[in-house]
Amino acid sequence: MPGAVVELVRARKDYGGTRALNDVDLRIEAGQVVAVLGPNGAGKTTAINLMLGIRKLTSGTVKLFGRPPTDPVARSRCGVMLQESGVPDLLTVEDLVRLFSSYYPRHLPAAEVIRKAGLEGKAGSRFGTLSGGQQQRLYYALAICGDPEVLFLDEPTVGLDVEGRRAFLADLRQWAGAGRTIILTTHYLEEADQLAQRIVVIDRGSVIADATPAVIKSQVAGKKVVLRFRSEPPRALLDSLPATSVQVDGDSVQILSADPVAVVREVMRRGGDDVVDIDVIGADLEEAFVHLTGAARG
Amino acid sequence: MAPVGPMLFEQVRAELLKLLRSPIFSLFSLALPVIFYGFFGVGNADRLTNGVRGGTFLMASFAAYAVANVMLFTFGISIAVERGRRMDLLMRATPLRGWVFLLSRIVAATCFALAALLLLGVFASLTGGVRLDAGRWAGLTVKLLLGSLPFLLLGFAIGYFVSPNSAPAVVNLIGLPMYFASGIFAPLQILPEFVQKVGPYLPAYLYGQVAWDAVGARSDPLWRDLVGLAIYTVAFLVLALLAFNRQENQRFS
């Protein structure tokens, strides 16, 4: 399919005096699974809202399938899950799937949608009586009922337990496997790592990284050095190491660094006799991310 | 794009289901006019009022109340509540057209207004001895529905201006005194003098004239009341647009 699914060009969004998005360029091709990552307030939801035409740009342009994002023709090709949106409590699962299906030109049969969302047996239940996880699955049903080419998911696994999240990610992987496009925001970073081929990191309204999970891991945060000592090591031993973060947990120390060799050499020089174990492993996405945003959060 | 016909059908169905499944709304819109008629209408059924039987006159009064109330409730309260719980957000990201959504609400409210009128009409015929020919019934129904536009617009304005928690209170605070001061719930003559002075300028008073005229309880021409209703329609339209734009600027700009 020629052309981008979504294209932001120098997209800027100000709320009052606050800049939520600062001249962002972003082009997403059909068939990509893209995760937009960032801390709370980074501008992820703003970016999604602009792509969907829910909010208007302050300056720059946004295109959805080459059209303005408010165009019903463009929206007919998109399924959407939003944060903190609601649907009427008094309507049943089936009522809502029927209703949202009617908005889309080539919608799937309601029973199939309900089955795909794992809500069999709940078709006749009112939305207000569903559990949090079931409500989230209902929103997923509403997102896929129009057989969309692209799914926009804003923090889709919020409110799901571990098992629910795992099942939901498996569904998404299967859905994307058919060559369809997913654009999701998340701060569950392992989620992006498991699902996305491309990660766009947003911080304070700007894109600060845009690459595959592997590239982000290899280039940015580097390695994690895990040292175990005979007993809790003295602070002086760990001062001013060539590291981005040092975490002490009893006799065990985790050090994030772009230069693990230098870290190990320095620690061994200062107090090598007390080290009983060393592990050097690739940093996971969350650690890469902490490094990228330039501040240890959480 | 999806065809508009099925979209409108499903949207109307959903709006009707929401109204049917909220007992408070059904009670207010369907049962209260009948209950009020039972209190005030049945006992006064044979007393001649403005040239018609009291049973007929008060049936027209409570018919006006029923339709105006459905419009104020469905637009005022449900818009405010759904806005507060962000039910409009997801729909705004779908290909649903705004006018389809608005039209479906109007159709659903009209269905409920018709049901309320039917119920009241049957009850008044059985208990108040109301006898009107088919043309009068039809005329009353059509005139009340057309004349309800200012109440629909006022409800719309309240729905977008007022917070979800205070919307029911605001709708009742505006509605109840207005129905009293307009001679809908009680004859104006028994109310305080200043209310008698202000009452004839209220939209419900003008609307009541439409209802009474439709059942033959007025002799002089209606044009002055219709002009008054038209003025209120324009004023509430402006208010509704202001309220809608305010919310668009706050949440969707």
- Label residue B136 exposed, middle or buried (CB < 10 Å: 0-12, 13-18, 19+): middle
Q: Does B95 touch chain A (CB under 8 A)?
A: yes
Q: Would you place residue A289 in the very low, low, confident or very high pLDDT band (cuts 50, 70, 90)?
A: low
A26 closest CA partner among A51, A58, A1, A2? A51
Measured between CB atoms, which of A78, A90, A105 is closest to B21?
Answer: A90
CB pairs under 8 A between A and B: 88
Q: Does B86 touch chain A (CB under 8 A)?
A: yes
Q: Would you place residue A241 in the very low, low, confident or very high pLDDT band (cuts 50, 70, 90)?
A: confident
> How many whole angstroms separate alpha carbon B38 and alpha carbon B35?
5
Measured between CB atoms, which of B1, B82, B96 is closest to A105?
Answer: B1
Q: Would you place residue A297 in the very low, low, confident or very high pLDDT band (cuts 50, 70, 90)?
A: very low
Contact list, A129 vs chain B (CB under 8 Å): none
Please name the residue of chain A whose CA is at the shortest distance from the CA of residue B101.
A103
Best interface-test mutation with B: which of A57, A83, A99, A106 has the largest number of B CBs within 10 A?
Answer: A99
Contact list, B92 vs chain A (CB under 8 Å): 54
Q: Does B2 touch chain A (CB under 8 A)?
A: yes
ipTM for the assembly: 0.89
B114-146: pLDDT as tens digits: 999 999 999 999 998 899 999 999 999 999 999
Q: How far is A269 from chain B (nearest CA, A)?
A: 59
Please name the residue of chain A whose CA is at the shortest distance from the CA of residue B97.
A72
Tokens for B60, please give them. 């027209």
Q: Would you place residue A209 in the very low, low, confident or very high pLDDT band (cuts 50, 70, 90)?
A: confident
Mean pLDDT by 10 residues, chain B (253 residues): 93 94 87 92 82 90 96 91 89 92 94 95 93 94 96 95 92 93 88 91 95 89 93 96 91 84
Measured between CB atoms, which of B6, B90, B253 is closest to A82?
Answer: B90
Tokens for A32, please give them. 């990509």
Mean pLDDT of the A122-128 span: 95
Pairing assessment for the beta strands A150-154 and A181-186 based on DSSP bridges = parallel
Q: Does A137 touch chain B (CB under 8 A)?
A: no
Q: Does B101 touch chain A (CB under 8 A)?
A: no
- Cβ distance of B14 and A78 shorter than 8 Å: no
Mean pLDDT of the A244-253 span: 87
User: What burial letters (b/e) apply to A116-148, b meaning 16+ CB within 10 Å?
Assistant: bbbbeebeeebbeebeebbbbbbbbbbbbbbbb
Which A residues 25-64 touch B at CB under 8 Å? 52-56
Residue A296 is predicted with a pLDDT of: 40
Residue B110 is predicted with a pLDDT of: 96
- Cβ distance of A76 and B1 shorter than 8 Å: yes
Q: How far is B225 from chain A (nearest CA, A)?
A: 39
The C-alpha torsion from B138 through B139 and B140 to B141, rounded to 10°, is 50
Do A85 and B87 contact (CB within 8 A), yes or no?
Answer: yes
Would you say residue A298 has pLDDT above 60?
no
A183-196: pLDDT as tens digits: 999 887 778 888 89
